Amino acid sequence: MFSLEHLVDLPLVWYGLIIVAILLYILLDGFDLGVGVLFPFAPSDQCRDRMMNSIAPFWDGNETWLVLGGGGLFAAFPLAYAILMPALYIPIIIMLLGLIFRGVAFEFRFKASDRTRIVWDYAFHFGSLTAAFMQGVIIGALVQGVAVEGRKYAGGAFDWLNAFSVMSGIALVFGYALLGATWLVMKTEAITQQWARKCAAYALGYVGLFLAIVSISMPLMNPGIRALWWSLPNFFFLLPITPGGRFARSF
């Protein structure tokens, strides 16, 4: 019988949908998390109120893309899901706790008195910081790969924790801070906007530094990526693309 599978490569379609969902999550919830990372460093409480109000209509909807990415992986690639989840249980749980804590702090801050608001300010900051850092750690662990034996994860509970994954976590924190700062430049004005411009310039320097570190370290860690990046004419095609895009192309 003739079926849709003869016309459409469904695994490839699902792969594209998951990649799009993750990309949209990074871009959209990234600026929310970035605002949270920068939150306690704002020059005044009035600036913090403006920062919070700038993301109030969007922050909870932006997290939907993360659900779509994880749900799509479970639905379309259950074997990959069954291998990756045991390998990354701890950082994923910590990330989700950070997102939950951030959401709770977001809601309670608007109802808190002036005396207790600072508690929720820092809760919002540390929830955002934790979620951003753990997402970077997860990316770093995936870049290095996971140990597989047959159809099961064969590594330990803390194989994800190493120098490269920690570096990736710090790098993503600065990346999200850059997104958050540029969002504030777009959505605020006066003192808040001027402060956000300075934060964006500061974060951009660190993002460039970490991009350089990743560009050097990834070919050294993975012979396949080294062969892909440094072979001709691939070198010239991939030169203007960020390391994250190069890594995606390598698969």
| pTM across the whole model | 0.80
pLDDT of residue 133: 93
pLDDT of residue 249: 38
Q: Cα–Cα distance between 131 and 111 in angstroms, integer?
A: 24
> One digit per residue, pLDDT tens: the chain, 251 residues?
545 555 667 778 878 888 888 888 888 888 888 888 988 888 888 888 888 888 877 777 777 777 777 777 777 788 888 888 888 889 989 988 988 888 888 778 777 777 778 888 888 889 889 999 998 898 888 887 787 887 888 778 788 888 888 888 999 999 999 988 888 888 888 888 888 888 898 898 898 888 888 877 777 777 777 777 777 777 676 666 544 443 333 33
pLDDT of residue 173: 92
